[in-house]
Amino acid sequence: MDKILVTRPSMPSYDEYVEAIKPLWDSQWLTNMGIYHEKLEVELKQYLKVSNLSLVVNGHTALELAIKAFDFPNGSEVITTPFTFISTTHAIVRNGLKPVFCDVKECDGTINEDKIEELITDQTVAIVPVHVYGNVCNVKKIQKIAKKYGLKVIYDAAHAFGVEYEGEGIGNYGDASVFSFHSTKVFNTIEGGAIIFKDDVLCKKIRKLRNFGIQDEEVVSELGINAKMNEFCAIMGLCNLKHINEMLIRRRAIGEYYKEKLRTVKGIRYLEIGMADSSNFAYFPVVLTEDAKISRDMLYERLCENEIYVRKYFYPLTSEQICYKGKYNTNDISCAKKLSVSVLTLPMYERITEEEVDKVICTVKKYLD
């Protein structure tokens, strides 16, 4: 058996992809909002149940541009979570803004909505929560707070592809939501991302921002960048989207199998899915509790020795990374700290075999039981 990685990309068959990209050779139209790019935007809008969607080159750029579109004054404060991939914090800082780290909830890893208000100052302009692992934040309460204080909400929905709340696509929440379509995500375009805005004016603006700020052949009205998705990536997305429902069903089956087989193991707990109607099983995080026989780091090492390359998503907290440590606020983020030293994400992707899942389960049991 080969080594088992935390994830592998979802891919169509080789023949399906090759067949799909053939027309590109004849058309010689490879990027700059080609027909496949436009088709993918239409199909994703339908699938994600959102009224607008702008594709970009990756999830990070999606978040950075979404924040940029609001033109917040330099140095303004943005309340966010440290329990996330570094991209979330980088996107805030790279926009010249100051991250204010808020604690998360132990039950699901999302921002603790009851701790947001105490962090608001007259410098606060926005909240950037993360639907971490596809677990949905308390979107209702966050909206209420934002309305009360006149703040913008930009959701990092990188993990939340296909997730809904009360039957509505999760991308509809906040003033903006961004998705990642990186190879390691539930749905991928190799590299890619998307931005959804509530406001039509911002939606038009983002379309310029992703293309150097170009308005027309002779007019540049924004300080934009090149964030355009190319046609090869768009076609990968179109192929993957055809199979997305089977992929999600398979992920669910693996997740449920893990839970069933690990049910009796002492020392692990699962995160709740927050406000989500159901999980997309983007990741399979397990949290080691105090009665676990060995520590998270020891289990990580034992699994690696057995060629099972799980990951400590998300450790260290972004606020603890060298580039940020000691630079920003010192709020109480004890739940985030605790979670980040006790979580492990087990291998989860639709092509993992039963034999491989059984090997992961047996190995976890061997060290925890």
Lay out the site mask for ligand T4K across 192-221 (x = CB under 6 A, - = otherwise): -x----------------------------
- Tokens found for residue 50: 């959102």
- The residue (of 60 and 296) whose beta carbon lies closer to ligand T4K is 60
- The residue (of 158 and 247) whose beta carbon lies closer to ligand T4K is 158
Interatomic CA distance for residues 155 and 174, integer angstroms? 6
Closest CB 263 distance from ligand T4K, rounded Å: 26
Pairing assessment for the beta strands 98-101 and 77-80 based on DSSP bridges: parallel
User: Which one of residues 143, 183, 329, 331 is an interface residue with ligand T4K (CB under 6 A)?
Assistant: 183
- Nearest alpha-carbon partner for 271 in 286, 281, 259: 286
Interatomic CA distance for residues 226 and 151, integer angstroms? 28
User: Which one of residues 59, 162, 171, 255 is an interface residue with ligand T4K (CB under 6 A)?
Assistant: 59
- The residue (of 100 and 158) whose beta carbon lies closer to ligand T4K is 158
Q: What angle do CA 271, 275, 277 make, to 5 degrees?
A: 95
Does position 111 bind ligand T4K by CB under 6 A?
A: no
- The residue (of 76 and 180) whose beta carbon lies closer to ligand T4K is 180
- The residue (of 163 and 292) whose beta carbon lies closer to ligand T4K is 163
Does position 5 bind ligand T4K by CB under 6 A?
A: yes
Closest CB 194 distance from ligand T4K, rounded Å: 10
User: Which one of residues 182, 205, 208, 337 is an interface residue with ligand T4K (CB under 6 A)?
Assistant: 182
DSSP string, 341-366: TTEEEEP--TT--HHHHHHHHHHHHH
Write phi, then psi, for 194 (nearest 5 degrees).
-150, 150
Lay out the site mask for ligand T4K across 293-322 (x = CB under 6 A, - = otherwise): ----------------x---x---------
Does position 339 bind ligand T4K by CB under 6 A?
A: no
- Nearest alpha-carbon partner for 281 in 273, 290, 269: 273
Q: End-to-end CA distance of the chain: give it in Å, rounded.
A: 24
Closest CB 182 distance from ligand T4K, rounded Å: 3
Stretch that binds ligand T4K, among 19-27, 53-61, 160-168, 169-177 (CB under 6 A): 53-61
Q: Do 78 and 127 form a contact (C-beta atoms < 8 A)?
A: yes
Stretch that binds ligand T4K, among 14-22, 34-42, 83-91, 356-364 (CB under 6 A): 83-91
Residue 246: its H or E element: helix 244-262
SS3 98: strand
Interatomic CA distance for residues 129 and 157, integer angstroms? 9
Lay out the site mask for ligand T4K across 130-169 (x = CB under 6 A, - = otherwise): x-------------------------x-xx----------
SS3 307: coil
Interatomic CA distance for residues 176 and 53, integer angstroms? 10
Interface ranges with ligand T4K (CB under 6 A):
5-9, 58-60, 63, 84-85, 87-88, 130, 156, 158-159, 180, 182-184, 193, 309, 313
